[in-house]
Amino acid sequence: MRQFWHSLTQEPLSPNSPVLLTGWTANAKAMRIAAFTDLTGPDGVSIIDRPTPEPGRREALVDIEACAINRHDLWILEGDSAMVDTDDLPFVSGLDVAGVVRDVGEDVANVDPGDRVVLCPNETCGTCRYCREGPENLCENFSLYHGGLAEIACVRADRLVALPDDVGTVEAAALPTAYMTAYHMLRRVEAGPTDLVFVPGATGGVGVAGVQLAAVLGAHSVGTSSSRAKLDRLESLGLDHAIVGTDPDQLRTAIADIGPVDSVLNHLGGAYTQLGLDVLRRNGRMAVCGRTAGGTSEIDIPDLFLGHKRLIGSTMGTQGDLETLVDLVDDGAFTPEIDRTYPLSEAGAAFTAMQDRESVGKLLITP
Ligand SMILES: NC(=O)c1ccc[n+]([C@@H]2O[C@H](COP(=O)([O-])OP(=O)(O)OC[C@H]3O[C@@H](n4cnc5c(N)ncnc54)[C@H](OP(=O)(O)O)[C@@H]3O)[C@@H](O)[C@H]2O)c1
Ligand SMILES: [Zn+2]
């Protein structure tokens, strides 16, 4: 599994890959990484040194100014991900890198040292039919970059998106996984002006992004959370209807009072899949990207076909989506919601905050 998730253009792992801690040389300059050394939760994060990598021909080194964490990283850290097991330790997670280019390989022409950039963490083969015809996130060999919980990242240069002067690296680091995924889901459900979009679990990374981006599209939103205090913070970010609760029966009744929804952004799975179908209008669309509340869902098949409802799987987004989001931030259409930043040495505390469901929006590490 590990080779699949770390394949860089299907080449074997480069000796400079952030996940490898071998290859130390006596005079190599060290950088710090927040490595997962145990898959037992936040206590398994250790700050260790490793040599600064050299970029390969098509790679760039980025001095990381910020890296967002996602529930994906937490699952790895909790031992709840098929992609990393104890044989892979120490493991450097972190997908959402933004910073300043420090050095580039000899074949790199799209970025120069000193450029401010954000990474699209998609890793695609470049040769399959989906890479040729698009969209790229359908790539048959799709995987994700990991290595952002560090001071320096060694990345594919063609996955770097230049940042305009007015877009900071901290806000840019919030964008790739959460906002790119939510934006792609909104595109998949064809959300448009005046639509009503249901976002169960509206207070996390993908949830807040879904609410903010629905508002950017002119759509209205219904969001849920177990916490009234967290939902209160969302009303200033564009949430139109806030519902406190986690019981699907209670939520179904409360949403029915607002009206049938045109689309659902479902990152929770579990019982929220049938709930989403229940509140959808005829011919409505639900995109599903996650399984926080359960990896299996029981659904009512006659309701699906008699209601002409559409159930859509969706993973990440395209680099074009990320470029659009950077432009929208530059235009002032929205500001990524960042709950808190942590220094690299406190990466474990950031994962504890995610586990404890304390935050609204994104948690970032700023090495
Ligand atoms: N397929 C993809 O490409 C892709 C990309 C990004 C994310 N995802 C998936 O999307 C999901 C969200 O990711 P994220 O990084 O946004 O996570 P996150 O920030 O941790 O999400 C927090 C949200 O989830 C809710 N939540 C947490 N545990 C819950 C539970 N047991 N039952 C119901 N709600 C719960 C929280 O509700 P409260 O407000 O009540 O605490 C909060 O609204 C994950 O499953 C992730 O793997 C998939
Ligand atoms: Zn491909």
Ligand number nearest to the C-alpha of 129: 2
Report the alpha-carbon distance of residue 233 to residue 155 in Å, rounded: 35
Quick one: 34 and 125 in the same domain? yes
How sure is the predictor about 317, in pLDDT bands with cuts at 50, 70 and 90? very high
Quick one: 296 and 154 in the same domain? no
Q: Whose CA is nearest to atom 32 of ligand 1?
A: 293
Q: Whose CA is nearest to atom 30 of ligand 1?
A: 293
- Cβ of 230 closer than 6 Å to ligand 1, yes or no, is yes
Quick one: 12 and 151 in the same domain? yes
How many domains are contained in the chain? 2
In a domain, 46, yes or no: yes
Q: Which carries the bigger pLDDT value, residue 10 or residue 220?
A: 220
- Cβ of 319 closer than 6 Å to ligand 1, yes or no, is no
Q: Which carries the bigger pLDDT value, residue 130 or residue 15?
A: 130
Sign of the CA dihedral running 136, 137, 138, 143: positive
- Cβ of 297 closer than 6 Å to ligand 1, yes or no, is no
Quick one: 144 and 195 in the same domain? no
Per-residue model confidence (pLDDT) at position 20:
41
Per-residue model confidence (pLDDT) at position 29:
82
- Domain harbouring 18, CATH code: 3.90.180.10
Average pLDDT over residues 129-135: 96
Residues 44-79: tens digit of each pLDDT: 999 999 999 999 999 999 999 999 999 999 999 999
In a domain, 326, yes or no: no
Quick one: 166 and 41 in the same domain? yes
Quick one: 42 and 159 in the same domain? yes
Stated pTM of the model: 0.94
In a domain, 321, yes or no: no
Residues 251-301: tens digit of each pLDDT: 999 999 999 999 999 999 999 999 999 999 999 999 999 999 999 999 999
* Residue among 67, 70, 80 whose CB has most ligand 1 atoms within 8 A, to mutate: 70
Residues 289-305: tens digit of each pLDDT: 999 999 999 999 999 99
Residues 197-245: tens digit of each pLDDT: 999 999 999 999 999 999 999 999 999 999 999 999 998 999 999 999 9
339: part of which helix (H) or strand (E)? strand 338-342
Quick one: 24 and 160 in the same domain? yes
Ligand number nearest to the C-alpha of 126: 2
* Residue among 69, 75, 268, 354 whose CB has most ligand 1 atoms within 8 A, to mutate: 268
Block residue for tokens 């009503």: 196
Judged against a pLDDT cut of 50, whether residue 7 lies above it is answered with no
Quick one: 255 and 351 in the same domain? no
CA–centroid distance, 254 to ligand 2, in Å, is 43
Per-residue model confidence (pLDDT) at position 22:
40
CA–centroid distance, 26 to ligand 1, in Å, is 43
Quick one: 189 and 138 in the same domain? no
Report the alpha-carbon distance of residue 58 to residue 251 in Å, rounded: 50
Domain assignment of residue 117, given as a range: 2-174+337-365
In a domain, 9, yes or no: yes
Per-residue burial over 234-266, b = 16 or more CB atoms within 10 Å of its CB, e = otherwise: beebbbbbbbbeeebeebeebbeeeeebbbbbb
In a domain, 27, yes or no: yes
Q: What is the mean pLDDT of the chain?
A: 93
- Cβ of 137 closer than 6 Å to ligand 1, yes or no, is no
In a domain, 223, yes or no: yes
Query: Which token pair is 164?
Result: 């305009």
